[in-house]
Amino acid sequence: MMTSSLPTIKRKNYAQQARDIIETAIMRGDFELGEKLTEENIAKQLNISRVPVREALRALEKYGLVEVKPSNGVWVISPDAKDIEEVFDIRALNEPYALELCFKNSPEKTIIELEHQIMDFENLLEQHGDRYDLINQDLKFDEIIFLRCGNNKLTEIWSILVPTIKIGFFHNPYFKENNSIVNNRSHREIVAVFKKGQIDTAKNSLTDHILKSKKLICESFKKEEE
CATH code, domain carrying 185: 1.20.120.530
Q: Which amino acid is at 180?
A: S
For 70-105, write each residue's pLDDT tens digit.
889 999 999 999 999 999 999 999 999 999 999 999
Last residue of a domain, one of 61, 76, 91: 76
Q: 86: burial class by Cβ within 10 Å (0-12, 13-18, 19+)?
A: middle
Q: Could you give the number of structural domains in the chain?
A: 2
Task: Kindly report the average pLDDT of the chain as a whole number.
Answer: 89
Provide the pLDDT for residue 198. Answer: 97
Confidence of residue 3 (pLDDT cuts 50, 70, 90): very low
Whether pLDDT at 224 is above 80: no
Q: Which of 52, 76, 100 is the last residue of a domain?
A: 76
In this prediction the pTM is 0.85
pLDDT digits (tens, 9 = 90+) for 140-183: 999 999 999 999 999 999 999 999 999 998 887 666 655 555 55
40 and 63 fall within a common domain: yes
Which CATH number covers residue 55? 1.10.10.10
Question: Mapping DSSP to helix (H, G, I), strand (E, B) and coil, where does residue 66 land?
Answer: strand
185 or 206: which leads in pLDDT:
206
Q: Note whether 172 and 217 are same-domain residues.
A: yes
Exposure pattern of 113-147 as b/e (b: 16+ CB <10 Å)?
bbeebbeebeebbeeebebeebbbbbbbbbbbbbb
* CB environment 171-181: b (16+ within 10 A), e (fewer): bbeebeebeeb
Of 54, 76, 98, the position where a domain reaches its end is: 76
Are 69 and 140 part of one and the same domain?
no
**Residue 87 shares a structural domain with residue 152:** yes
Percentage of the chain with pLDDT > 90?
71
Rg of the Cα atoms in the chain: 18
Q: What is the pLDDT of residue 35?
A: 95
170, 27 contact by CB (below 8 A): yes
